[in-house]
């Protein structure tokens, strides 16, 4: 039989929303092969058969893709290889093809160049949490189906671009032709799709860093970190553009700046999308994560919508959308989900199209829309190293202490406390041994009082805030 027919993963790589590790240290081709065998086994047992596979622009991606396909076919699944592209293009291939039952994208998302990983979809739903635990269990037990699947290659980029352009239907061409937009692909996997999309868009488009380079020579591809938007801001200023859009490494998260170079954060983008959507679908439910500004929830309500606050994490938000039938959702981290006239997955390129559409339909420039938002002062995300065993316990202790306080406490995901000064949040990260905190107020003094409350609660649980740790 040759190789042992079971596989143990490095304990750090099976995460809440995906699988991710460091190439050559915690993740390699043997892991990819085992993921293929377990995923195919679960899919076969659920009555599925065919899996779409795509990969991002990382140097290690082709190697992992080869091993993954080997594993999938060895457990009897047929594979549709769609090649290199953004994660949403893989989601599109899975959602749009009647014969495809699951999908796997090989991607390290916005992690450094030596990382890689896997994002998975299973019969139209996100594959996460207990699914990933089960995948690890099957591998450790070698509980795999045997078979010989087929492999075919499918070109989907043209159809994917066509589908995204549907988002501009019904908008006057002259309105679109006047637009001047900057785009930054950050040398990530969305580059070629962005070039094809921009070539077909009306208006004037200036593109940065569309050449795929897994070493990310220009800047790190995480558009939620303001420093990474410097090149886009410079482009918008130099060419006097209407606004700019940036993508993360695998194209499922969006960042943006307006014509004055102000960052439009994830919750502010969602605010614009909601205003546009609620004119088309009055009264709709819009979901945002617990990190989002109060201004967003207020604006959704003011536009006649039903705001829902939910847990952070793209898989969790997607599941909540299915449950509530919400046509739109988003996260602070730049994941935006359109089920309205689309499939409900997070797609930064499509979100870019919808930003163009929203501006046109609302008859306001993106700069005007950003300028109309209330000025809130907020902290960046504060992250505190905490022992893994204490991580969730601390949040529970804080919740218990605040049970009888006059403040309004929301326990959807961690503790979000609203006072007359604004709000603060403390939650456990699902992906690292850190606690994450954030606070927002309309005044500097209010923000100080909120941060003092966070400090007090950490102190009461035997933690000091100390220096904040990075991502």
Residue positions counted in the chain: 471
* Cα(333)–Cα(326) distance, integer angstroms: 19
| CB proximity list for 202: less than 8 A, separation 6 or greater | 173, 176, 177, 179
Catalytic residue among 38, 61, 75, 109: 109
SS3 sequence, 336-386? Answer: EEECCCCCCCECHHHHHHHHHHHHHHHCCCHHHHHHCCCCCEECCCEEEEC
- Over the range 233-258, which residues count as b (16 or more CB within 10 Å of their CB) and which as e? bebbeeeebbbbbbbbbbbbbbbbbb
Give whole-number Cα distances, 315 to 49, 289, 348, in Å: 23, 12, 16
Give whole-number Cα distances, 309 to 215, 293, 321, 331, in Å: 37, 11, 12, 10
| CB proximity list for 6: less than 8 A, separation 6 or greater | 139, 140, 141, 142
Task: Yes or no: say if 117 and 18 are a contact pair by the CB < 8 Å rule.
Answer: yes
Task: Yes or no: say if 150 and 73 are a contact pair by the CB < 8 Å rule.
Answer: yes
109 classed as catalytic: yes
| CB proximity list for 323: less than 8 A, separation 6 or greater | none
Dihedral Cα 106, 111, 112, 117, nearest 10 deg: -30
Any alpha helices (H) in 166-324, and if so which ranges? 173-177, 191-200, 230-239, 266-280, 294-302, 314-324
**Could you tell me which of 225, 329, 348 has the C-alpha nearest to residue 284?**
329
Task: Yes or no: say if 263 and 257 are a contact pair by the CB < 8 Å rule.
Answer: yes
* Cα(313)–Cα(338) distance, integer angstroms: 16
| CB proximity list for 290: less than 8 A, separation 6 or greater | 309, 310, 311, 312, 410, 412, 413, 414, 416, 425, 427
Task: Yes or no: say if 106 and 56 are a contact pair by the CB < 8 Å rule.
Answer: yes
- For β-strands 382-385 and 19-22, DSSP reports them as unpaired
Catalytically active residues are: 109
């Amino acid at each position: 039989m040759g190789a042992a027919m079971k596989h143990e993963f490095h304990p750090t790589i099976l995460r809440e929303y995906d699988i991710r590790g460091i190439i050559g240290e915690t993740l390699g081709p043997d892991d990819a092969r085992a993921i293929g065998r377990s995923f195919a086994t679960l899919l076969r047992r659920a009555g599925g058969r065919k899996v779409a596979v795509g990969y991002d622009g990382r140097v290690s991606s082709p190697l992992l893709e080869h091993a993954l396909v080997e594993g999938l076919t060895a457990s009897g699944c047929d594979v549709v290889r769609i090649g290199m592209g953004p994660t949403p293009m893989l989601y599109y291939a899975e959602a749009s093809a009647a014969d495809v039952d699951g999908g796997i994208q090989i991607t390290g998302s916005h992690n450094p160049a030596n990382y890689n990983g896997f994002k998975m979809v299973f019969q139209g739903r996100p594959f996460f949490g207990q699914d990933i635990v089960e995948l690890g269990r099957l591998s450790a037990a070698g509980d795999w189906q045997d078979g010989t699947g087929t492999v075919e290659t499918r070109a989907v980029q043209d159809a994917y671009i066509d589908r995204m352009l549907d988002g501009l239907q019904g908008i006057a061409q002259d309105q679109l032709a006047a637009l001047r937009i900057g785009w930054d692909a950050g040398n990530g996997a969305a580059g070629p799709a962005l070039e094809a999309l921009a070539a077909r868009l009306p208006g004037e488009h200036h593109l940065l860093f569309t050449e795929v380079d897994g070493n990310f020579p220009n800047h790190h591809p995480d558009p939620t970190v303001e420093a990474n938007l410097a090149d886009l801001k410079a482009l918008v200023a130099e060419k006097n553009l209407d606004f700019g859009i940036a993508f993360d490494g695998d194209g499922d998260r969006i960042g943006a700046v307006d014509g004055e170079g102000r960052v439009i954060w994830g919750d502010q983008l969602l605010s614009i999308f909601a205003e546009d959507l609620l004119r088309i679908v009055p009264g709709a439910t819009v979901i945002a994560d617990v990190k989002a500004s109060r201004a967003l929830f207020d604006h959704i309500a003011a536009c006649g919508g039903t705001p829902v606050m939910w847990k952070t994490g793209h898989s969790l938000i997607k599941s909540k959308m299915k449950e509530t039938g919400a046509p739109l959702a988003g996260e602070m981290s730049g994941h935006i989900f359109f089920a309205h006239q689309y499939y409900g997955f997070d797609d930064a390129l499509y979100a870019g199209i919808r930003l163009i559409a929203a501006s046109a339909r609302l008859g306001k420039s993106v700069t005007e829309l950003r300028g109309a938002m209330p000025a809130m002062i907020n902290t960046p995300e504060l992250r505190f190293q905490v022992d893994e065993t204490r991580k969730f316990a601390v949040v529970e202790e804080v919740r218990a202490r605040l049970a009888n306080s006059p403040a309004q406490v929301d326990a959807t995901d961690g503790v979000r406390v609203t006072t007359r000064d604004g709000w603060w949040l403390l939650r456990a990260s699902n992906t690292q041994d850190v606690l994450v905190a954030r606070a927002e107020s309309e005044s500097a003094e209010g923000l100080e009082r909120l941060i003092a409350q966070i400090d007090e609660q950490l102190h009461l649980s035997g933690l000091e805030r100390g220096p904040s740790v990075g991502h």
